[in-house]
Amino acid sequence: MEKTLIILKPDALQRGLAGRIISRFEDKGFQVLALKAMHVSRDLAEKHYAVHKAKPFYPRLMNYITSSPVIVMVVQAVGGIAIARKMMGATFGSQADPGTIRGDFGLSNSFNLIHGSDSPEAAETEIALYFKPDELLSYERGNEKWIYDCSGDTPE
């Protein structure tokens, strides 16, 4: 199982899309391990987006991500990071394929609704920014055998 951090950004909440986006992850078979609504502080935003500090869009990104509440969640699935990123679609809604979250709900080239970790290392770092270890749930789902073929040594 691979964990990833998902952030439903301010525009997703302001537009009333949070439930529909979360449902897509649950419908796909992701397991929700943690979820909370919060305001991202400037300090937290600077830590999370430090890799973008020198980029021209950085000031707008800081204003955007701290402008309104977000929902942060940790989800997991086999191959979860790649699957979540495929579900999100291209960074800009205007370029994202229909059927993806950004393709179905976004037009903006600035406001892009959702963030997802891009690697296992990034996921580990990002999850630690938003959640304490004891905030991540561990539980068995009764439908796991219907989400994955569990007849072998590893779920498929």
The 10s digit of each residue's pLDDT in 42-52 is 999 999 999 99
**113 touches 21 (CB < 8 A):** yes
Q: What is the pTM of this model?
A: 0.94
pLDDT tens digit sequence for 48-89: 999 999 999 999 999 999 999 999 999 999 999 999 999 999
Rounded distance between C-alpha atoms, residue 35 and residue 146, angstroms: 24
Which residues are CB-neighbours of 54 under 8 A, at least 6 positions away?
Answer: none
How many DSSP H helices and E strands does the chain contain?
8, 4
* 109 has a pLDDT exceeding 90: no
pLDDT tens digit sequence for 118-131: 999 999 999 999 99
Rounded distance between C-alpha atoms, residue 30 and residue 142, angstroms: 13
Query: Which residues belong to the active site?
Result: 115
Q: List, in order of start, the domains of the chain with CATH numbers.
A: 2-147 (3.30.70.141)
